[in-house]
């Protein structure tokens, strides 16, 4: 299967002022686009792997030949993570349902405590990577992954991810990763996040 760069469900300027248009254009077209191209290049001419879905590839990294394992982990992970990320965002955000908020309360104490713990994971990810809200067999957890590693490779189900690579925020926020994390909450589509559970 040839992987393709998914279209965004909104215009690249629609998340302003929280995520700026230039960042969205470069991030989607160039960065995500490169992950897709590099993933396809790694799989080209290997029909047994070309026929696999992205989920099959990422949950079976140890079964891939060593010659393509790193490329699939990095570029397949990049494709998978960014696809989830774009889908979790919407102009103006979409509010959280009382049902899901009570699940967050159960797991983390309160919505504020959840956001604080998520922010902490996103800030402490040294270098490049992601912060995640995941489900592990129905139990909500916060994790972070380095580079483009995807939680699905560790048997976790992603509900919400935040890209904290510098390419995700540096044009608008420079070194102020904390401000970018705070701004992110204004454009999260909680209906999508909840639907993943």
Residues near Mn ion (CB under 5 A) are 163, 165, 168
The residue (of 80 and 100) whose beta carbon lies closer to Mn ion is 80
Which residue of this chain has its Cβ atom nearest to Mn ion in the complex?
163
CB of 66 to Mn ion, least distance (A): 26
CB of 194 to Mn ion, least distance (A): 23
Cβ contacts of 101 within 8 Å, gap of 6 or more: 111
How far is residue 32's CA from residue 38's CA, in Å, rounded to a whole number?
10
Contacts within 8 Å (CB) and 24+ apart, 191-196: 191/94, 191/97, 192/87, 192/88, 192/90, 192/94, 193/88, 193/100, 193/133, 193/159, 193/160, 194/96, 194/97, 194/99, 194/100, 194/159, 196/135, 196/157, 196/158, 196/159
CB of 109 to Mn ion, least distance (A): 30
The residue (of 18 and 108) whose beta carbon lies closer to Mn ion is 18
Asked if 23 and 188 touch (Cβ cutoff 8 Å), the reply is no
The residue (of 68 and 129) whose beta carbon lies closer to Mn ion is 129
The residue (of 163 and 189) whose beta carbon lies closer to Mn ion is 163
CB of 168 to Mn ion, least distance (A): 5
The residue (of 150 and 168) whose beta carbon lies closer to Mn ion is 168
CB of 167 to Mn ion, least distance (A): 5
């Amino acid at each position: 299967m040839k992987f393709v760069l998914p279209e965004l469900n909104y215009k690249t300027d629609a998340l302003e002022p929280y995520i700026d248009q230039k960042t969205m254009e470069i991030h989607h077209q160039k960065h995500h686009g490169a992950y897709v191209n590099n993933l396809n290049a790694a799989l080209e001419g290997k029909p047994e792997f070309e026929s696999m879905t992205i989920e099959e590839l990422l949950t079976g990294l140890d079964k891939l030949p060593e010659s393509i394992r790193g490329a699939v982990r990095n570029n397949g992970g990049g494709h998978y993570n960014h696809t989830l990320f774009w889908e979790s965002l919407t102009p103006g955000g979409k509010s959280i349902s009382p049902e899901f908020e009570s699940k967050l309360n159960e797991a983390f104490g309160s919505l504020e405590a959840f956001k604080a713990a998520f922010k902490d994971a996103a800030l402490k990810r040294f270098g490049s990577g992601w912060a995640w809200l995941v489900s592990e067999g129905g139990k909500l957890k916060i994790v972070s992954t380095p580079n483009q590693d995807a939680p699905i490779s560790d048997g976790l189900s992603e509900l919400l991810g935040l890209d904290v690579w510098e390419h995700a925020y540096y044009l608008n926020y420079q070194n102020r990763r904390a401000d970018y994390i705070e701004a992110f909450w204004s454009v999260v589509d909680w209906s999508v996040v909840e639907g993943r559970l």
